[in-house]
Amino acid sequence: MKRNLYDLTREELEKYFEEIGEKKFKALQVYEWLYQKREVNIDNFSNIKKEIRDRLKEDFTTNFIKIEKKEEAELVKKYLFRLHDDNFIEAVIMYHDYGNSICVSSQVGCNMGCRFCESGRQKKIRNLEAYEMVEQILKVEEDLNIRISSVVIMGIGEPLDNFDNIVRFIKIINDGKGIQIGARHITLSTCGLVPKIYELANIGIQINLAISLHASNDELRSKLMPVNKVYSIGVLKQAISDYLQVTSRRVTIEYVMLNNVNDRVSNALELAKLFKGMNIYVNLIPYNETEALEFKRSSKDNIKTFYDTLKKNGINVTIRKEFGGTIKAACGQLRGSMKRK
């Protein structure tokens, strides 16, 4: 099976051209056609001689994922994409006052099994290739005629369980001749695969790291998130500390607010004690309820009390703005409904 041209970093493309006896600057020309001129037809790469274009067509494809369905609400649109093997993934575009942000998927399904997550009910089928993540961005930009300014890798799947493809994807979208998303506008969210957090710290691109914590102690987190039985909060905290030391980049702690599960004042006090003095901030997330799972979102009063408790104990904290509650914007909901059909 041919490799997709959108799957290659510029360095990989330079190496390809050198291996076929051509100058590596051809890679820059190809990147300009793909990402600046948004030309998908290799025959139209007019400043590249025909023999090279023919060779590119022999070795690569430029096939795109397809938009299967789109749902819209205020300030948000959700896409269901059909892949070449008829699997489905999702992406969500959110309109902020500072620009347009897209949440992309990294796997078809997910094996992490977080109990409150719709994606966790849908077991992992396979990893996404880098091009399938790149094309989520390109397809949305084309469909809406907009420029996406920030990317969050927070959709279906655990990104660090697809490490090599994720790194390739980040390099492509961060490239000054690629999609040109600045490193500080790229956020990766992980449930806490500790060895991969250490690897991520050393890739040389200063992206933002978000840790899906969602509990303030090991007993509760192990009930909600099976990964905690392998990498406890203490082990994860040490990885966060080491990541901070290597990158000097503040880390986000994500905390979904589940009614009468993890939203007590005692949980807030435990969380404050855990991260006191560290360069982190906590992002409280109102839960997107799903008909397939039993969890309910915390009340506004409980969220406000939790927020105030963290603030009083010296923790930087925000409450995430809600998007897409009316269009099944929680990860996996649209894909899940399509599978049930």
Q: For residues 338 and 94, is the Cβ–Cβ distance under 8 A?
A: no
Verify whether residue 142 is a known catalytic residue: no
Q: How buried is 312 (Cβ within 10 angstroms: 0-12 exposed, 13-18 middle, 19+ buried)?
A: exposed
Verify whether residue 72 is a known catalytic residue: no
90, 129, 135, 254: the active-site residue = 90
Q: What is the 3-state secondary structure (H, E, C) of the chain?
A: CCEEHHHCCHHHHHHHHHHCCCCCCHHHHHHHHHHHCCCCCHHHCCCCCHHHHHHHHHHEECCCCEEEEEEEECCEEEEEEECCCCCEEEEEEEEECCEEEEEECCEECCCCCCCCCHHHHCCCCEECCHHHHHHHHHHHHHHHCCCCCEEEECCCCCHHHHHHHHHHHHHHHHCCCCCCCCHHHEEEEECCCHHHHHHHHCCCCCCEEEEECCCCCHHHHHHHCHHHHCCCHHHHHHHHHHHHHHHCCCEEEEEEEECCCCCCHHHHHHHHHHHCCCCEEEEEEECCCCCCCCCCECCHHHHHHHHHHHHHCCCCEEECCCCCHHHCCCCCHHHHHHHHC
| Block residue for tokens 């996996």 | 332
Q: For residues 63 and 135, is the Cβ–Cβ distance under 8 A?
A: no
The Cα 323–Cα 311 span in angstroms is 24
110, 114, 117, 331: the active-site residue = 331
* Catalytic positions: 90, 331
